[in-house]
Chain A
């Protein structure tokens, strides 16, 4: 079970992303972070803190559950429905520049669902995509604006991002998927 990012590496990566965000966005008060459940949410919070540490400006963070927008929900009914959690976006997204945050970018389908969901909340000025890991194998024309680490993988492998908030410790591991 190779660890491709350890805790220190995760921390440095998030700090770097925060710096890139600060460099590429002049009006920080127009920004808002929206984390995709589950692990996009703590990453978004950490980015918000990192940006605050650099600039003193705290970017608000929202939580997005994309379950109700998934395109595979009604197609292969092989198991029970995934558990739906609350979406919590405590600010208007109209005319904001939204930073959509997820842990792993893979096929792009989660991001597609998240974009659909976000647009139901209003009309943001722009949406940029932030991911901790891009593992390739896109199935939709989607590209990240901020990438923590590009990680070439085979489709048989699974990439797991673990975070202190959800899993007890920070690390990114690559595993052979169970057949």
Chain B
């Protein structure tokens, strides 16, 4: 275990990894260790957030992230409220701000939001008094995913600094990518990203990563391989000619995995498209830690919920 140099988070909200220091990331991961232990108990529940209300406001379909947050909230004894609002119904009627202010009238302590627009959580944080946790905003960030990825990597590798981590897939549209680039950069990993140029975010190198269109170059001697989902609707945008060709050029196969270090782990934030970005043998292979990621998601989210429920510098008024 590393020694912590901070004992709390500076911000009121978790809008993105961009706002966290390496020390704060360390604190979240350490706290998640303790939370993971709670999940191993016969009674997987602690009274910590008793009497606190958390609203899970999801404007995009999500099974994994929403249930993960919900389990985390319940393990901390918070009262949870799930609101699945489809973005289209918001177009017709209420604005996001009105929806949020209506929910605020019920005096929640925290709002966990998933939204299709980048920056939607920033907007919420400006108009709401509650703590806001970003559960994914557009193509911007998905901070708890990156935190659980880091937690999983640390669990298997003992560290993050100095590891070669390859991230492959639809980088352009991925909020998981952006959060991971920021986080892995802050913790000192050597990150390689690979995608066709059509799916590469412009100026991605300025994140401090190596970019390549060769999956083999990215995977060579990697300690960690992280596959990102290909959204099937991207084919209409002519980002690549066909799913078949995508798999041929960028799909992760056992053959390609052999170029990585022998003790490589493979990760995927889900949901997976087997046979598109990842072969089933790889997804289910011995180096796959994909299900560990899911399990660790609860611990990391408990840590974030707990740490944000304390006072912050932003409250001094």
Chains A and B directly touch (beta carbon < 8 Å): yes
Binding site for B on A (CB under 8 A): 65, 67-69, 73-74, 77-88, 116-117, 120-122
Contacts A80-B7, A83-B31; A116 near B37 (Cβ below 8 A): no
Interface string of B34-53 (1 = CB under 8 A from A): 11011001110111111110
CB pair A120–B43 under 8 Å, yes or no, is yes
Contact A69 B7 (CB under 8 A): no
Residues B46 and A120 in contact, CB atoms below 8 Å apart: yes
Q: Interface of chain B, helix or strand or loop or mixed?
A: loop
Chain B residue contacts of A122, Cβ below 8 A: 42
Query: Please, which residues of chain B bring their CB within 8 A of the CB of A68?
Result: 34, 38, 46-48, 76, 306
The answer to whether A116 and B47 touch across the interface, beta carbons within 8 angstroms, is yes
How far apart are the CA atoms of A68 and B307 in the complex, in Å? 11
Nearest to B33 among chain A residues (CB) is A86
Q: A80-B310, A120-B45 are in contact. Are A86 and B37 (CB under 8 A)?
A: yes
Q: How many residues of B contact A (CB 8 A)?
A: 32
**A85 and B34 contact, Cβ closer than 8 Å, known pairs A69-B46, A79-B8:** yes
Nearest B residue to A70, CB-CB: B48
A-B contact pairs, 29 of them (CB 8 A): A65-B34, A69-B47, A73-B310, A74-B48, A74-B309, A77-B309, A79-B8, A80-B307, A80-B310, A80-B311, A81-B8, A81-B306, A81-B307, A81-B309, A81-B310, A82-B7, A84-B31, A84-B34, A84-B35, A85-B30, A86-B33, A86-B34, A87-B34, A87-B37, A87-B38, A120-B41, A120-B42, A121-B41, A121-B43
A-side interface mostly: loop
Other contacts beyond A80-B311, A121-B42: 4, CB < 8 A: A69-B48, A74-B51, A77-B309, A85-B34
Closest Cβ of chain B: how far from A68's Cβ, in Å?
4
Q: Mark B1-17, 1 if CB is under 8 A from A, else 0.
A: 00010011100000000
Say whether A83 contacts B7, CB under 8 Å.
yes
Contact partners of B306 in chain A: CB under 8 A: 68, 81, 84
CB A113 to nearest CB in B, in angstroms, measures: 9
**B37 near A83: Cβ-Cβ < 8 Å:** no
Q: Is the CB of B9 within 8 A of A80?
A: yes
Q: Cα distance A74–B41 when bound, in Å?
A: 23
A73–B31 CA distance with the chains assembled, in angstroms: 15
A79 x B46 contact (CB < 8 A):
no
B8, B31, B47: most-surrounded residue (chain A CB, <10 A):
B47
A86–B307 CA distance with the chains assembled, in angstroms: 15
Between A73, A77, A79, A81, the greatest number of chain B beta carbons within 10 A of the residue's beta carbon is seen for: A81
With contacts A68-B48, A74-B50 known, is A83 near B43, CB below 8 A?
A: no
B255 at the interface (CB under 8 A from A): no
A70 CB, nearest partner CB in chain B, Å: 8
Contacts of A65 in B (CB 8 A): 34
CB distance from B41 to the nearest CB of A (A): 6
* CA gap between A83 and B26 in the complex, in Å: 12
Q: Which residues of A contact B86 (CB under 8 A)?
A: none
Output the nearest chain A residue to B43 by Cβ-Cβ distance: A120
Choose among B8, B35, B303 the residue that contacts A80 (Cβ–Cβ < 8 A): B8
Task: With CB as the reference atom, state the residue of chain B lying closest to A122.
Answer: B42
In angstroms, Cα B52 to Cα A68, docked, is 14
Contacts of B310 in A (CB 8 A): 73, 77, 79-81
CB distance from B76 to the nearest CB of A (A): 8
Chain A residues with Cβ below 8 Å from B82 are none
User: 7 tightest CB-CB pairs across the interface, nearest first?
Assistant: A80-B8, A81-B310, A77-B311, A68-B46, A84-B34, A68-B48, A120-B43
Q: Which residue of B lies closest to A94 (CB)?
A: B42
Q: Known interface pairs A83-B7, A83-B31. Does A77 touch B49 (Cβ–Cβ under 8 Å)?
A: no
Query: Residue of B at shortest CB range from A71?
Result: B47
Q: Shortest beta-carbon distance, A76 to chain B, in Å?
A: 8
Complex Cα distance A86/B43, Å?
16
Contacts of A116 in B (CB 8 A): 47
**Among the listed B37, B45, B51, which residue makes an inter-chain contact with A88, where contact means beta carbons less than 8 Å apart?**
B37
CB of A77 within 8 A of CB of B315, answer yes
